[in-house]
């Protein structure tokens, strides 16, 4: 999710803004073209000579600009040289409990390295530590950013773009920027799952998901309310929420969020449940067992996830979502193209939606 206010700590620092401005000018002009004077930059950015000189020094060191007393600053000859790339691909990933997210990166690194590409991985818990770790990195051809639904600030993206020619983002929450974004439209998957359950005879359908305010998650909750035709002022009684990010649910959280089994002789408030954010099918199976809910008998269960990851659906739960193998192929293709300096316009790459039927949403005759 893109947070427009979280950039202040990084992007509003005068030194950062001056350097970014000069880099933009260097990219747009030819070697020898004149650049603004130090005092002009001081006036433009309302800052001191010392701050401007600190911003300029790394660019002087890299040969991107040249400066002579009395002659001012010019675009340096270093611009015409091939950059000294420290790696072909830098992978930045936010620490997460999701094994699926980590496994995807591990497999991608293996594929890229097998063909001789240089790959560097940096894990981080927050943007400040990520920037500290990136400080010692030189330029890279392509950066892949994996954030696992967490907020991404404008300043953080700008710092990454200083270090890389191309940016690829895992997830389609951040769109409309100069980057390739790759992921699943989970609203689409939810709509397909809901319509499939209706086609199988279900009319009272619940949705168990995260309560996090990340855009993809919040929009899925709104989509469910539209599908369920919920117009009440309060929470939809068929919306069950877990106070964790997708991929980090705990059994106790799921048990607490699951609906109660109706008393004998009483009609259930719902006949089916769509579950999103659970990447461990055994955990769901155990939670349902604790609630004494038998999937396909007491309640139909449809997961939103990866149809080709057995640990998610454990060949027990019907699943609507992407193929992890296809996602990996798209990542590899896009990253390779950008490493090879593909000049096509960055795009949003939506993964195809598939349906896996394991028999967990069979409609009971008496429901």
The DSSP symbol for 147 reads -
Residues of the chain with CATH 3.40.50.2300: 87-184+325-350, 186-323
Rounded-to-integer distance, Cα 293 and Cα 261, Å = 6
Rounded-to-integer distance, Cα 153 and Cα 128, Å = 11
Q: According to the model, what pLDDT value does residue 4 have? A: 44
Q: According to the model, what pLDDT value does residue 268 have? A: 64
Is the separation of the CB atoms in 206 and 273 below 8 Å?
yes
Q: According to the model, what pLDDT value does residue 349 have? A: 95
State the DSSP string of 245-298: -TT---HHHHHHHSPPPPPTTSPPS-SEEEEES---HHHHHHHHHHTT--BTTT
pLDDT tens profile 10-40? 446 788 888 888 888 888 888 888 999 999 9
Is the separation of the CB atoms in 346 and 178 below 8 Å?
yes
Q: According to the model, what pLDDT value does residue 269 have? A: 67
CA–chain centroid gap for 283, Å, is 24
Q: Radius of gyration of the chain from Cα atoms?
A: 25
Q: According to the model, what pLDDT value does residue 147 have? A: 84
Rounded-to-integer distance, Cα 144 and Cα 115, Å = 18
Q: According to the model, what pLDDT value does residue 1 have? A: 47
If phi over 0 gives left and psi between -120 and 50 gives alpha, with beta otherwise, what is residue 341?
left
Q: According to the model, what pLDDT value does residue 5 have? A: 47
- The correct answer on CATH 3.40.50.2300 for the domain covering 87-184+325-350 is yes
If phi over 0 gives left and psi between -120 and 50 gives alpha, with beta otherwise, what is residue 219?
alpha
Residues of the chain with CATH 1.10.10.10: 2-80
Residue at token pair 């701050």? 51
Give φ, ψ of 290 to 5 degrees. -65, -35
Rounded-to-integer distance, Cα 169 and Cα 178, Å = 11
| CATH of segment(s) 2-80 | 1.10.10.10
Rounded-to-integer distance, Cα 77 and Cα 54, Å = 21
Percent pLDDT > 70 in the chain is: 90
The superfamily (CATH) of domain 186-323 is Response regulator (3.40.50.2300)
Q: What is the residue-level pLDDT of the chain in tens, covering all 367 positions?
A: 444 444 445 446 788 888 888 888 888 888 888 999 999 999 998 999 999 998 898 888 888 898 877 778 988 876 554 567 888 999 999 877 677 788 889 999 999 999 899 999 998 888 888 888 887 777 889 999 998 888 888 888 888 888 888 999 998 777 677 899 999 999 999 999 999 999 999 989 999 999 998 888 999 999 999 999 998 888 899 999 999 988 889 999 999 999 887 666 566 667 899 999 988 999 999 999 999 998 988 899 999 999 999 999 999 999 999 999 999 999 999 999 999 988 899 999 999 999 999 999 975 444 4
Which helix (H) or strand (E) covers residue 111, if one does? Answer: helix 99-114
60: Cβ–Cβ under 8 A, 6 or more apart, which residues?
Answer: 66, 67, 76
Q: According to the model, what pLDDT value does residue 229 have? A: 93
Prediction pTM value: 0.76
Rounded-to-integer distance, Cα 302 and Cα 47, Å = 58
3-state SS of 10-43?
A: HHCCHHHHHHHHHHHHHHHCCCCCECCCHHHHHH
Q: According to the model, what pLDDT value does residue 311 have? A: 92
């Amino acid at each position: 999710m893109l947070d427009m206010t979280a950039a202040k700590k990084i992007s509003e620092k005068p030194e950062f803004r001056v350097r970014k401005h000069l880099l933009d000018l260097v990219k747009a002009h030819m070697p020898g073209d004149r650049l603004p004077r130090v005092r002009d930059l001081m006036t433009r950015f309302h800052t001191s000579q010392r701050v401007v000189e600190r911003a300029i020094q790394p660019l002087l060191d890299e040969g991107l600009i040249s400066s002579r007393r009395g002659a001012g600053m010019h675009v340096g000859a270093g611009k015409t040289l091939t950059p000294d790339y420290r790696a072909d691909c830098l992978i930045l990933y936010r620490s997460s409990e999701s094994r699926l997210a980590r496994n995807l990166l591990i497999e991608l690194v293996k594929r890229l390295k097998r063909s001789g590409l240089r790959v560097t991985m940096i894990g981080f818990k927050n943007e400040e530590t990520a920037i500290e770790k990136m400080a010692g990195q030189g330029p890279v051809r392509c950066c892949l950013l994996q954030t696992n639904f967490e907020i991404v600030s404008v300043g953080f993206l700008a710092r990454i773009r200083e270090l890389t020619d191309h940016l690829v983002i895992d997830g389609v929450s951040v769109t409309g920027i100069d980057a390739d974004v790759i992921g699943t439209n989970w609203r689409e998957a939810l709509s397909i799952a809901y319509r499939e359950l209706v086609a199988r005879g279900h009319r009272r359908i619940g949705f168990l998901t995260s309560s996090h305010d990340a855009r993809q998650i919040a929009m899925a909750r709104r989509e469910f309310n539209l599908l369920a035709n919920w117009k009440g002022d309060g929470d939809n009684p068929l919306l069950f929420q877990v106070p964790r990010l997708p991929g980090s649910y705990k059994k106790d959280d799921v048990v607490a969020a699951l609906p109660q089994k109706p008393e004998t002789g009483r009609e259930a408030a719902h006949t089916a449940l769509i579950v999103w954010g659970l990447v461990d099918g055994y955990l769901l199976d155990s939670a349902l067992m604790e609630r004494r809910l038998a999937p396909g008998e007491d309640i139909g269960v449809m997961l939103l996830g990866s149809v080709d990851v057995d640990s998610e659906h454990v060949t027990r739960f019907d699943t609507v979502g992407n193929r992890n193998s296809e996602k990996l192929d798209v990542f590899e293709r896009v990253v390779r193209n950008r490493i090879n300096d593909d000049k096509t316009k960055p795009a949003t790459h939506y993964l195809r939606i598939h349906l896996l039927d394991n028999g967990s949403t069979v409609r009971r005759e008496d429901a």
